[in-house]
Amino acid sequence: MDSEIKQKISELKEQFSDRRTQVCEIEAVEKDGRTHIIGTVLDEATKTAVHNKFLNAQTELNVLRMQTPTWLAVSTTLTGLYNKPGFGSGLDSELKNGQMVELLRVEESWAYVRQPDGYLGWVYRPYLATNPETEPTHLVSDPVAPLHLAPDAAAPLVSRVLGGTAVTITEEQHGWACLKLVGELAGWLPAHTLRPLPLPTLPEAQLRQRLVADAYSFTGVPYLWGGSSAYGIDCSGFAQIVHRLSGIQLPRDADMQFDNGRSVEPPFQPGDLLFFASPNGHRRITHVGVSLGDWQLIHSSRSHNGVYVDNVQEVKHLRETFVGARTFIA
């Protein structure tokens, strides 16, 4: 392979290097006296970029995203989204019951999937079911809501449903709601643990108050890299779920949140996001917390091993690594 082809392949791999949202696995081979660019790409846009880079070469590319996609739904309470197929792989995020994913490919018992926001990863295939026919009617607002066999707190537990899970109510009795979850699991929980969908639009002051109240409800949840629930959560997963409970969709990771939010300056308002950087991190932005007002913040912190409150100006490593603030509140 000549140096020019190597350089072009290197440039394309760099252009599509973010494995969280992109796929460009290509190489050059010589066949029949011609250079062939073969491999796998995510979509037609990536395929076009490869073709335009190699106008004089034959391209043989497998495109993962189909014109008619196959959508699946998570059928367990919670499951991991991994960077490789296998439970021993790195945990990038977690998916809750009913969350939809686009199936891209299958390797043995593992499915490579794409979430509606573009985030990619591997899920254990038996934990995915066909697309449910019913639309969710409510969002679970408590960090963890116990699911009972009957509309009675003394009734046996069936399971637990996690905050941020979109659910469908089939029946209501005396302050209780019966849920049917994806995977055929059903049970009752107190109706006050649910918020109706679509979530109503609140005035800004009330919205910020609710963001803070929801953030406080996760106090003490342990830190877990890649975690996104009350069973364990990381900093960006915490920011994401707090906003999801108010109908605001955030990207999954801290650097994505920083890049997509609207810049704000001090004094910070409750619900703004404060971001931090580290020269030792694999990305520039390595941490995020939810402002409680000005420099007070609540965050899922490794140093505390969980969700707790700090003052940025009083904690040396936070004060020295702060890089800016963003908001997703209109």
Which candidate, 109, 149, 139, 126, places its Cα nearest to that of 242? 139
Residues 209 and 323 in one domain: yes
Residue 282 confidence class, pLDDT cut points 50, 70, 90: low
Residue 132 confidence class, pLDDT cut points 50, 70, 90: confident
Mean pLDDT throughout 182-199? 96
- Quote the pLDDT of residue 275: 98
In percent, the amount of the chain with pLDDT more than 70 equals 99
Residue 179 confidence class, pLDDT cut points 50, 70, 90: very high
Q: Average model confidence (pLDDT) for the chain?
A: 96
Residue 3 confidence class, pLDDT cut points 50, 70, 90: confident
Residues 170 and 215 in one domain: no
Full domain range(s) for residue 316: 204-327
- Quote the pLDDT of residue 184: 86
Mean pLDDT throughout 235-259? 98
Answer yes or no: is pLDDT of 192 > 60: yes
Answer yes or no: is pLDDT of 281 > 80: no
- Quote the pLDDT of residue 31: 84
The model scores a pTM over 0.75: yes
Residues 301 and 243 in one domain: yes
Higher pLDDT, 55 or 72: 72
* Dihedrals phi, psi of 275, to nearest 5 degrees: -120, 150
Residue 140 confidence class, pLDDT cut points 50, 70, 90: very high
Residues 208 and 300 in one domain: yes
Distances (CA, A) of 206 to 171, 194, 210, 238, 273: 30, 18, 6, 20, 17
* Contact (Cβ atoms closer than 8 angstroms) between residue 187 and residue 158: yes
Count of structural domains, the chain? 4
Answer yes or no: is pLDDT of 56 > 90: no
Non-local (6+) Cβ contacts of 156 within 8 A are 148, 149
Answer yes or no: is pLDDT of 145 > 60: yes
Residues 225 and 309 in one domain: yes
In percent, the amount of the chain with pLDDT more than 90 equals 91
Residues 145 and 244 in one domain: no
Residues 15 and 52 in one domain: yes
Residues 74 and 56 in one domain: no
| β-sheet bridge partners, residue 122 | 82, 112
Q: Give pLDDT tens digits for 17-48.
A: 999 999 999 999 988 878 899 999 999 999 99
* Dihedrals phi, psi of 329, to nearest 5 degrees: -90, 125
- Quote the pLDDT of residue 289: 98
Residues 255 and 307 in one domain: yes
Residues 212 and 318 in one domain: yes
Mean pLDDT throughout 133-159? 96
| CATH code of the domain covering residue 243 | 3.90.1720.10
Last residue of a domain, one of 173, 196, 219: 196
Last residue of a domain, one of 14, 48, 63: 63
Residues 312 and 221 in one domain: yes
Answer yes or no: is pLDDT of 279 > 80: no
Answer yes or no: is pLDDT of 63 > 70: yes
Last residue of a domain, one of 196, 223, 243: 196
Q: Give pLDDT tens digits for 80-124.
A: 999 999 999 999 999 999 999 999 999 999 999 999 999 999 999
- Quote the pLDDT of residue 121: 98
Residues 158 and 82 in one domain: no
